Homo-oligomer: A and B are copies of this chain.
Amino acid sequence: MRATIIHAPGDIRVENVPAPKITASTDAIVRTVAACVCGSDLWSYRGVLPVAEPQPIGHEYVGIVEEVGSDVSTVRPGQFVIGSFVASDNTCPICRTGYQTSCRHAQWVNGAQAEYVRIPLADGTLVAVPEQPAEDLIPSLLALSDVMGTGWYAARAAEVKPGSTAVVVGDGAVGLCGVIAARELGAERIIAMSRHASRQKLALEFGATDIVTERGEEGVARVKELTNGIGADSVLECVGTQESLHQALQSSRPGGNVGFVGFPHGSQIEGQELFFSHVGLRGGPAPVRAYLPDLIDRVIGGRINPGKVFDLTLPLDEAAEGYKAMAERRAVKTLLRP
């Protein structure tokens, strides 16, 4: 089959490799209908994470179940499924609290930018769509596999409530999905921090009420101006740098909440700063699995259309260009069709 392999930073190739096989009785093999490139895939593409040897890449996918292991009972061949980027059993004590990405048996999905992908713990990980979805829903369903679920978790971790004010730090695909989530959870005012015209436009379409183009201290000051001088009730941190996390904490009102979903590479949080901020802080890899049934309903019902974050669609064989466009910020997010 054709699969995307990262050989080294900047070196993405689509190659012929053996198709994956069932290796555990709880596995499923999914024929990928669509996959995409994640901001986190760019870490190795940019050399932030090392690439020790050529390896398959990709963890966002929708597709048709091709084959299941003997212990799989909740999905069957032929079904159109979506799964989280982390496989989970969905039954352990942690999964039952709704934090499936901390599942005792969690396994990170990999190799999804390919014609087929092996999904471990298929019963706990995959959710079947009631019927074969219309073609135009596929991008939005694909977005649920990571970015929309991650934006949703950012809003939940930031405790967005009806009538509240939310700030979204970061205008990448996750931040834009965070705007959708904040709107769906009832935020009355949604301030998107963005300096890119096309992303501002999408943020406004998704429900942002204000755009702040300033960053850092100036960005914080602007948010304060817009929030009665005290800061926002909820801040969704969707970047993942020391600076963006600091900006998020400063943009929250005392007693407010920051949800941080940008992976905080080497960030340190000053205990004393957090203490005096009175801000609640929760982060982590989004437990997408917990939200899939609800988010699938919202997509199929036409309430949300997160697939709009894909502004570049390419055949799988052109994955390298998909990475390049994102790395050069010519694209927000690339969808790949095998």
Contact = CB atoms under 8 A, between A and B. Distances in A.
Contact of A284 (B101, B266, B276): B276
Given A277-B284, A280-B281, A94 B271 contact: no
A283 interface: yes
Contacts of A295: none
A278 interface: yes
Contact of A94 (B98, B254, B276, B287): B254
Interface string A276-302: 111111111101000000000000000
Contacts of A278: 99, 101-102, 282-284, 287
A27 B187 CA distance: 40
A266 B272 CA distance: 7
Interface string A241-281: 01001000000011100001001111111111011111111
A228 B96 CA distance: 12
A86 to B, nearest CB: 11
Chain A interface, DSSP helix/strand/loop, else mixed: mixed
Given A97-B254, A98-B255, A282-B281, A267 B272 contact: yes
Contact of A99 (B255, B260, B264, B284): B255
A81 to B, nearest CB: 25
Interface string A93-122: 110011101100000000000000000000
A94 B254 CA distance: 7
A269 B266 contact: no
B267 A271 contact: yes
A245 B272 CA distance: 12
28 contacts: A93-B228, A93-B230, A94-B230, A94-B253, A97-B255, A99-B278, A102-B254, A102-B255, A102-B276, A242-B271, A254-B284, A260-B275, A264-B272, A264-B275, A267-B271, A268-B268, A268-B270, A269-B271, A271-B283, A274-B281, A274-B283, A275-B285, A276-B284, A278-B282, A278-B283, A278-B287, A280-B282, A281-B281
Given A93-B228, A263-B272, A280-B280, 9 more contacts: A94-B255, A99-B254, A101-B278, A260-B275, A264-B275, A265-B272, A276-B284, A277-B284, A278-B287
